[in-house]
Amino acid sequence: MGKTLLIVESPTKSKTIKKYLGSNYIVRATMGHIRDLPKSSMGVDIENDFEPSYLTIRGKGDVMKALKKDIKASSKVVLATDPDREGEAISWHIVKALQLPEETTSRVVFNEITKDAIKEAIKHPRKIDKDLVDAQQARRVLDRIVGYSISPLLWRKVKKGLSAGRVQSVAMKLICDREEEILSFEPKEYWNLETQFSNPPAKKKFSAKFYGDKKGKINLKTQEQTLKIVSEIKDKDFIAKDIKKTEKKRQPMPPFITSTLQQEASKKYNFTSSKTMMIAQQLYEGVDIKGIGAVGLITYMRTDSVRVSEEAISASRKYVEGRWGKDYIPVKPRVFSNKKNAQDAHEAIRPSIVELVPDEIKESLSLEQYKIYKLIWERFIASQMAPAQTLATAVNIEAGNYIFKATGSIITFPGFTSVYDEVKEESEDKEQALPEIKENDLLSLKEILPKQHFTQPPSRYTEASLIKTMEELGIGRPSTYAPTVSTILARNYILKDKKQLYPTELGAVVNDLMRENFSQIIDAEFTAQMESKLDLVEEGKLPWKNIIRDFYDPFKQELEIADKKIEHVQLTLEESDVVCEMCGKKMVYRDGKFGKFLACPGFPKCRNTKPIVEEIGANCPKCSGSIVVRRSRKGVRYFGCVNYPECDFMSWDEPTTEKCPICGKMLLNRSIKGRILKNNKVCLDKDCQYNKKTQKEKK
């Protein structure tokens, strides 16, 4: 009996799998897709019922040649590509490209790359699931028709190199709509009273919020109204009333799905969604662990299901009991419910082997792999732990007819928070622990500060919040979130500044054209309905070409009308006072990958560009030139002399106009990764005694 050829997409995956299979198996990788639609043309025959024309991807000739040789040397071929639509399609393309018999070629899937999972999968081969393949084909053909129809229109009417996409245009509209909300927002004034009290026996300060009076809540709208209340209560006694103590339980979050992993990694580590997925892919495909060898550390990372296998639940409960004791596991295993439109093909993202504790295998992982693995491991372990228990206290503080409210809580049993607690948004209130307060205690008012505020516009999207919104609206699927965001960033339709996403002028122009001429394409509800139809194809309930037929006729009409209606769009560029030294024209501001820059309007005849110089008002200690803000290759701010390279002064810390009180040299504002620290000054001279003095004061 000959050898069995097992084909996967990734060399890392093949290395991990090879370790678990005997010498009777040859394991090879296709290095991703081997066939796709051509780049030079649409590749979809509209007249022939939307039949796609697939070609072997350029550069895959050697891979194909090697696979054909392996097939001849093998008695059986097993396809083990990823367990989703994309993976199923890759397997189908392998069959077609290598002319394998579809009926007898085995397909196996595994959610995790461990010895048991692989052995079990090989025991249960199946045929290629054509419904899964058709769902992927439908998405690919839809996206190709939209992209290759609208993009040439944008090239003709706006500028070359632009593109539109079925999902990317909807994401772009979300960002542009939010920007319009921000620009049209009219702030409204409101006031509050920031107060601090203490209970004299405890002497511990705590804060309380003004609520209103005994009739109900009062919203403070003006300074006059606020100061009137302050004058009315300044001589009053502040008495504790209506003290309520409530025991509360806080349940853990479910294990990660694709979108929540991307969101949490963004909040905690500032990772982009594409970076998070790249690292998760490495963990799934296998990492060399000291003393063990190559092993897949997590389950498949493209999923929107929170389902977990009984074996994994049992293993986690056993681990928790062994480490923290019985009190830390719930009486019954916890089962989480999926959202309405979630697919249930895969489990949630969890560690493949619970016993591989992040800190114990840290030396075998890169820092980024460790961070993502730790997040996944801790979130999963926490999801099967007992709830955290808190004692919440609420106190009404009466001052004459007015009422302040103080709330606080203390943890009485940490439960799952011993392992993991989700990252809080910066805007969320921090819990305080109240001192012991009894009914009718006379409290001491330590501070009352009237403060004016204005309502704030909605925040711009971050990658995390955009993906969360896309998921909630049903736009895209786990495999498309990261590529969608990456695409609109790469196209220069949006820029990212301190995590926030905002549209460029180009992005706004393209969005306006799409909104005016292709309202259906960028409609979130329509896009979500299309996703639901693709799910029906996957379930075998709808032929894939029906979706394309229903979509194409109205789309074609929109396209024809738009081509006649849209006139050439001239992008308006803001002029600067800087004169181009090469041709004498005034340079204009343009948006680039790393923010705004100056460019000559005579492009392409004149290609002169310059960075925008941001002066900080301090002079160089070496040559007295202006100090300007610069950015490193990774986008981190630093400070340098405007006369560079003649003057090589640079500093990560921010130069100031202040002089050191000891040696008279320049004082710098301390900075960490581009973030200026408040009230933390150091002397330019590292050996100056002032630096040692300030460090002592901080201690």
Last residue of a domain, one of 565, 589, 610: 565
The strand ranges marked E within 14-128 are: 25-29, 35-36, 44-45, 51-52, 55-56, 74-79, 106-107
d(CA 659, CA 35): 66
Burial zone of 353 (CB within 10 Å; 0-12 exposed, 13-18 middle, 19+ buried): buried
Judge contact between 484 and 470, C-beta under 8 A: yes
Q: Which residues is 6 bridged to in the sheet?
A: 27, 78
DSSP conformation class of 455: P
Has residue 133 been placed in a domain? Answer: no
Residues of the chain with pLDDT under 50: 426-428, 699
In a domain, 29, yes or no: yes
User: What is the residue-wise DSSP string for 146-159?
Assistant: HHHHHHHHHHHHT-
User: Cβ contacts of residue 209 below 8 Å, gap of 6+?
Assistant: 192, 193, 195, 404, 405, 406
pLDDT tens for residues 408-452? 999 999 999 999 987 655 444 567 889 889 999 999 999 999 999
The answer on 495 and 602 residing in a single domain is no
> How many independent structural domains does the chain possess?
5
Tokens 């969360």: give the residue: 468
Detail the DSSP E strand segments found in 533-583: 575-579
Picking from 186, 187, 188, 192, the residue whose alpha carbon sits closest to that of residue 219 is 192
Residue positions annotated with a catalytic role: 300
Note whether 305 and 418 are same-domain residues: no
Please write the tens of the pLDDT for every residue from 217-234.
Answer: 999 999 999 999 999 998
30 shares its domain with 72: yes
pLDDT given for residue 592 in this prediction: 66
pTM for the whole structure: 0.80
Examine residue 485 and state whether it is found in any structural domain, yes or no. Answer: yes
Residues 309 and 112 sit within 8 Å (Cβ to Cβ): no
Considering the domain architecture, whether residues 517 and 492 belong to the same structural domain is answered as yes
Tell me if 299 is assigned to some domain: yes
pLDDT value at residue 678: 66
Structure tokens at 226: 């606020």
* Residues 483, 535 share a domain: yes
Query: In this structure, is residue 570 part of a structural domain?
Result: no
CATH number of 347's domain:
1.10.290.10
557 and 475 co-located in one domain = yes
200 lies in the same domain as 153: no
User: Residue 486 maps to which CATH number?
Assistant: 1.10.460.10
In a domain, 556, yes or no: yes
Which amino acid is located at 545 in the chain?
Answer: K
Instruction: State the residue range of the domain holding 448.
Output: 189-251+388-454
Which CATH number covers residue 97?
3.40.50.140
* Contact criterion met (CB below 8 Å) for 347 and 312: yes
Q: Are residues 32 and 111 in the same domain?
A: yes
> DSSP string of 664-690?
--EEEEEEETTEEEEEEEEESSTT-HH
